[in-house]
Amino acid sequence: MDNQSELLLNWYDRNARDLAWRVAPADRRRGLRPDPYRVWLSEVMLQQTTVAAVDRYFRRFTALWPTVSDLASAEDAAVKGEWAGLGYYARARNLLKCARAVVAGHQGIFPASRAALMQLPGIGPYTAAAIAAIAFDQPETVVDGNVERVMARFFAVDTPLPAAKPELMRLAALLTPQERAGDYAQAVMDLGATICTPRSPSCGLCPWSARCLARERGITADLPRKAPKKPKPTRIGTAYVARRDDGAWLLERRPAKGLLGGMLGWPGCGGLDRAEDHPPIEADWRRLPAEVRHTFTHFHLRLNVLVAEVRGKAEPRKGAFLDAKDFRPSDLPTVMRKVFDVASSEVAKD
């Protein structure tokens, strides 16, 4: 084993983070193996989301659906409802597709190789490498944002991201050991998350400090370099919130593909899909003074909120009424919950 890998694993044995989805190094040495289902679920949840935010979602999911077979048989709406707040709702759709593919094509057992894992829906190169390494101890190189930062500093790579990604992957592969690959993958991620942090890294506590080129050259704070970000455009849309006199809410399910695909939401919202905004039902619409603001990966969204009370049996042009007893704001994606909060607070003032 490379000396650097050994140094890092020794550090990890003493300092590994206690995470709900992780098997501690001491337990692994006693023969306890990570559950591939829990590894996969955590990796999907952690994409673009912090560890602190994922913890309660992970615990809730695994309490509701302890195995991949349980998840595969779950109702789509229930899973998407529990996912609300994690963002990137295509991941929730792919989560179900992948679980069902594992059950249908692999008898509920995740394949062990990176190549086979990549054949499953929603699993890309990073996630496949992470599952293969962490769950099956395959010597795969796992590179997330934390690992990129560690490698950029350790090897003093000054090529800006994202152009530096192939080089950082190549360098990370040089250090990946053949043994304890799963612990090593988690060790590098922990090193980046707790020691080699974006600001004010604790170099004095780092097991790799003696060989770190960035520290030697005094450029740690400058790495990794990043290409300037393009400013995000702002889109404007409208959300129509209608409530019938019996308490039912007018909602529509968005198309399966695209932003917030398959999720419940308020009609309108043209800023999400560049569609024209038209009232979904004949009513006396009232525009609220407050607007909803939300930021997606590639754009900012500003939504005007219009509310209306609908009487009788009026038929909507878009969407359908959902009985009050079946409506849970928590089932809505975050931006739609923001709309509900604004509409509820304004209506309560009346």
| Residue 346 a catalytic site member | no
Mean pLDDT across the chain, nearest whole number?
A: 92
Domain boundaries, the chain: 3-222, 234-349
pLDDT in the model for residue 322: 93
Alpha carbon of 109 to those of 82, 113, 119: distances in Å? 24, 12, 14
Residue 237, CB half-sphere, CA atoms under 13 Å: how many? 25
Contacts of 177 (CB under 8 A, 6+ apart): 1, 2, 5, 6, 9, 139, 184
Tokens of 112: 């062990």
CATH code matching the domain that covers 3-222, chosen among 2.40.50.100, 1.10.340.30, 3.30.565.10, 1.25.40.10: 1.10.340.30
Q: For residue 134, how many other CB atoms are within 10 A of its CB?
A: 28
pLDDT in the model for residue 160: 97
pLDDT in the model for residue 275: 58
**Whole-number Å distance between alpha carbons of 312 and 315:** 9
pLDDT, tens digit, for every residue of 29-88?
899 999 999 999 999 999 878 899 999 999 999 999 999 999 999 998 889 888 887 866
Assess whether pLDDT exceeds 80 at residue 276: no
pLDDT in the model for residue 346: 65
pLDDT in the model for residue 349: 53
Assess whether pLDDT exceeds 80 at residue 270: no
**Whole-number Å distance between alpha carbons of 208 and 152:** 13
pTM for the model: 0.77
pLDDT, tens digit, for every residue of 203-259?
999 999 999 999 999 999 999 999 988 899 999 999 999 999 999 999 998 887 778
Assess whether pLDDT exceeds 80 at residue 2: no
CATH hierarchy code of domain 234-349 = 3.90.79.10
pLDDT, tens digit, for every residue of 128-175?
999 999 999 999 999 999 999 999 999 999 999 999 999 999 999 999
Assess whether pLDDT exceeds 60 at residue 347: no
**Whole-number Å distance between alpha carbons of 145 and 148:** 5
DSSP 315: P
Query: Tokens 């878009």 belong to which residue?
Result: 318
Bridging pattern class, strands 300-310 and 234-244 = parallel
Contacts of 56 (CB under 8 A, 6+ apart): none
Tokens of 55: 């913890």
pLDDT in the model for residue 314: 83
pLDDT in the model for residue 98: 97
Ramachandran bin of 162, using left for φ above 0, alpha for ψ from -120 to 50, beta for the remaining angles: alpha
The mean per-residue pLDDT over the stretch 291-296 comes to 93
**Whole-number Å distance between alpha carbons of 93 and 215:** 43
Q: Which of 6, 43, 252, 309 is catalytic?
A: 43
Cis peptide before 231 (omega within 30 of 0): no
Under the banding of pLDDT at 50, 70 and 90, the label for residue 333 is confident
